[in-house]
Every structure is written in C-alpha cells, then in structure tokens.
C-alpha cells in the first residue's frame, strides 16, 4: 500500500504530521521526495542591451556635495 501526503517542511526540519488511517499501526518506511519547484531562468549575457542609458555627466561632481569636496 502506498499513500502520498504533501507536507510543508519547516526551517528547523522538525516535522509533526497525522498519519492517514489507511496505514496500519507498526513499522513502516517513510520516503521523502522534494516537491518539484519552478525552474530557475538563467539570464543571458547582454539580454538587456539597449534598455538602459547612462547620462554623459554620470561621473560629474554633484552640486549637493560641493561643500564636502
């Protein structure tokens, strides 16, 4: 007999759960299988090319900090 039960594993990895009534009392084997998660998308180098513009005076001193320089 096989029963599948989805549970949330807490950060401390201590799990308390109710065993389904279909499982007879006595020794049993528990199998833990991670749930499938979303695939991570690997960014492609240069994929944002042309979407951002840096001002020509980017490195110019700011008037707000004139007193500190």
pLDDT tens for 1-46 read: 778 888 888 889 898 888 888 888 888 888 888 877 777 788 889 8
Assess whether pLDDT exceeds 80 at residue 57: yes
CB 21 within 8 A of CB 9: no
The confidence score (pLDDT) of residue 23 equals 85
Q: How far apart are CA 45 and CA 18, in angstroms?
A: 48
pLDDT number for residue 21: 86
Its pTM stands at: 0.38
pLDDT at 15: 86
pLDDT band at 47 (very low <50, low <70, confident <90, very high): confident
């Amino acid at each position: 007999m096989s029963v599948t039960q989805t549970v949330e594993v807490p950060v401390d990895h201590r799990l308390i759960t109710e065993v389904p009534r279909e499982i007879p009392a006595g020794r049993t084997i528990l199998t833990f299988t991670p749930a499938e998660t979303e695939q991570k998308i690997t960014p492609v180098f240069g994929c944002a090319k042309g979407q951002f513009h840096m001002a020509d005076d980017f490195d110019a001193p700011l008037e707000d900090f004139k007193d500190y320089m």
